[in-house]
């Protein structure tokens, strides 16, 4: 079998033991004579899967009982619209602009009639190479929420400290760092994430929302209404059953490994090694402010586009897949999600040393 290291930003590498278990159970799930894909979403076997997934996620993240966990579809991108639709009608919605995904969240919110969108801080002038200063942000007292992107997948930045929003709910797009490090759920009114990085396959979106934020609007389409989705336990319509099953296996894998504290330690070690290699190099450098560097997505450049291209081409030849930076920023990006193996980081660093020796 072809062995590769998959540095993709998403859909991303999944834990091998998870894929093996899914393979073992594929044709005959728990003696049902069927695969999970063929089970009714109303069957007791699937009910067990969705309930167990929720419980495992609750334990892993320490989700208090006054928060609902929803398994939805439409990607993190649909949340860009669902959030203002549910929470900001005839109100002001505040955003901190830290990169391409924040910008998309802002522009989708602006399309919703009756919502006033305010960008209260931005690092756009710094080309998003940092998180903006948060000590002087002004949040209107009656704001519906403050939205942040905790980890900026494309630019490689992360909040090291959360904005203080007082009684205004903080809403976080955690698509690219959910389950990678410890967060206190009580700091947030709502958290959401597309699954295809640290949770499982694409097609599933996880929403964690505090009870008091469930929609009170009468006229919202049912599929877009958090309250209806919560009341039907994510079974208003057919949910992405197989993606939820794989997420359950990922949550089991992470629990066995020691939970988020254990994976956070590993993630920090993996990232620190790669940052050290970049910082000690005479060829490669990091475009990101040292204090705000992500441990999930690590962009780096040679400052020579031709050399970047050669690096990516040579790396691909030896099975280092998806190292190309996002088309909007160029260069390279190594995404080191939870399931990315430590040996892969060591192999990349070796390759960088050899490349530097040849091309400096
Ligand atoms: N937010 C962030 C931080 C992301 O990284 C992504 C996807 N890479 C998205 C939103 C969009 O997610 P989706 O493709 O699930 O809509």
360: pLDDT confidence band, cut at 50, 70 and 90?
A: confident
The segment(s) of the chain belonging to CATH 3.90.1150.10 are 259-359
pLDDT of 74 strictly over 80: yes
Indicate the range of 127-141, 158-172, 214-228, 284-298 predicted with least confidence. Answer: 214-228
Ligand 1 pocket residue status of 10, Cβ below 6 Å: yes
Q: Which candidate in 89, 173, 308, 324 is catalytic?
A: 173
2: pLDDT confidence band, cut at 50, 70 and 90?
A: confident
User: SS3 for 141-203, per residue?
Assistant: CCCCEEEEECEECCCCEECCCCCCCCCCCEEEECCCCCCCCCCCHHHCCEEEEECCCCCCCCC
**CA end-to-end span of the chain:** 35
How, if at all, do strands 320-321 and 5-6 pair?
A: parallel
Q: What pTM does this model have? A: 0.98
Q: Is 197 a catalytic residue?
A: yes
pLDDT of 278 strictly over 80: yes
Please give the Cα distance from 46 to 38 (Å, whole number): 10
Distance from the Cα of residue 160 to its chain's centroid: 16
User: Which pLDDT does position 225 carry in this prediction?
Assistant: 95
Find out whether 238 is annotated in a ligand binding site: yes
Longest CA–CA separation in the chain, Å: 65
User: Which pLDDT does position 329 carry in this prediction?
Assistant: 87
Instruction: List the one residue out of 306, 308, 264, 302 whose CA is nearest residue 281.
Output: 302
Ligand 1 pocket residue status of 149, Cβ below 6 Å: yes
Q: Is 173 a catalytic residue?
A: yes
Find out whether 153 is annotated in a ligand binding site: yes
343: pLDDT confidence band, cut at 50, 70 and 90?
A: very high
User: Which atom of ligand 1 is the closest one to the Cα of 151?
Assistant: 3
pLDDT of 354 strictly over 90: yes
Give the percent of the chain with pLDDT over 90.
96
- Burial grade of 249 (CB within 10 A; 0-12, 13-18, 19 or more): buried
Could you tell me the fold of the domain covering 16-256? 3.40.640
Ligand 1 pocket residue status of 173, Cβ below 6 Å: yes
Helices 259-279, 44-61: crossing angle, 10 deg rounding: 60
Residues 300-328 pLDDT 10s: 999 999 999 999 999 999 999 999 999 88
CATH of 259-359, one of 3.90.1150.10, 3.40.50.150, 2.60.120.640, 1.10.3300.10: 3.90.1150.10
Residue whose Cα lies nearest atom 9 of ligand 1: it is: 76
**Ligand 1 centroid to residue 128 C-alpha, Å:** 17
User: Which pLDDT does position 174 carry in this prediction?
Assistant: 98
User: Which pLDDT does position 327 carry in this prediction?
Assistant: 87
User: Which pLDDT does position 73 carry in this prediction?
Assistant: 98
Please give the Cα distance from 336 to 175 (Å, whole number): 14
Ligand 1 pocket residue status of 195, Cβ below 6 Å: no
Residues 116-139 pLDDT 10s: 999 999 999 999 999 999 988 999
What mean pLDDT is reported for the chain? 97
Average pLDDT over residues 105-112: 98
User: In DSSP terms, which residues pair with 192 in a beta bridge?
Assistant: 173, 207
Find out whether 338 is annotated in a ligand binding site: no
User: Which atom of ligand 1 is the closest one to the Cα of 77?
Assistant: 16
Q: Is 310 a catalytic residue?
A: no
16: pLDDT confidence band, cut at 50, 70 and 90?
A: very high
The segment(s) of the chain belonging to CATH 3.40.640.10 are 16-256
Find out whether 101 is annotated in a ligand binding site: yes
Find out whether 327 is annotated in a ligand binding site: no
Ligand 1 pocket residue status of 243, Cβ below 6 Å: no
97, 146 contact by CB (below 8 A):
no
**Ligand 1 centroid to residue 57 C-alpha, Å:** 20
Does the structure's ipTM exceed the value 0.90? Answer: yes
11: pLDDT confidence band, cut at 50, 70 and 90?
A: very high
Average pLDDT over residues 48-77: 98
């Amino acid at each position: 079998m072809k062995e590769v290291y998959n540095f993709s930003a998403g859909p991303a590498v999944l834990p091998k033991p998870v894929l093996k278990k899914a393979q073992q159970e594929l044709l005959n799930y728990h003696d049902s004579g069927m695969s999970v894909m063929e089970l009714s979403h109303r069957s007791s076997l699937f009910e067990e899967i969705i309930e167990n997934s929720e419980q495992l996620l609750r334990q892993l993240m320490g989700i208090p009982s006054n928060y609902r966990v929803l398994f939805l579809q439409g990607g993190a991108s649909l949340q860009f619209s669902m959030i203002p639709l549910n929470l900001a009608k005839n109100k002001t919605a505040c955003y901190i602009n830290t990169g391409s995904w924040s910008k998309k969240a802002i522009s989708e919110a602006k399309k919703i009639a009756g919502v006033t969108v305010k960008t209260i801080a931005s690092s756009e002038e710094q080309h998003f190479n940092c998180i903006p200063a948060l000590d002087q942000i002004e949040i209107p007292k009656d704001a519906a929420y403050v939205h942040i992107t905790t980890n900026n997948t494309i630019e490689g930045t992360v909040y090291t400290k959360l904005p203080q929003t007082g009684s205004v709910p903080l809403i976080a797009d955690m698509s690219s760092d959910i389950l990678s490090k410890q967060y206190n759920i009580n700091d947030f009114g709502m958290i959401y994430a597309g699954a295809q990085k640290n949770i499982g396959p694409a097609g599933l979106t996880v929403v964690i929302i505090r009870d008091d934020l469930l929609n009170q609007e009468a006229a919202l389409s049912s599929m877009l209404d958090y309250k209806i989705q919560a009341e039907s336990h994510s079974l208003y319509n057919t949910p992405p059953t197989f993606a939820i099953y794989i997420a359950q296996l990922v949550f089991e894998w992470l629990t066995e490994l020691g939970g988020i504290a254990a994976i956070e330690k590993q993630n920090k070690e993996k990232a620190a090694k790669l940052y050290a290699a970049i910082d000690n190099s005479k060829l490669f450098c990091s475009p990101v402010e040292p204090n705000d560097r992500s441990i999930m997505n690590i962009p780096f450049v040679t400052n020579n586009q031709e050399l970047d291209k050669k690096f990516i081409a040579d790396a691909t030849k030896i099975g280092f897949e998806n190292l190309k930076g996002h088309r909007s920023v160029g260069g390279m990006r190594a995404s080191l999600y939870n399931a990315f193996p430590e040996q892969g980081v060591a192999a990349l660093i070796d390759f960088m040393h050899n490349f530097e020796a040849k091309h400096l």
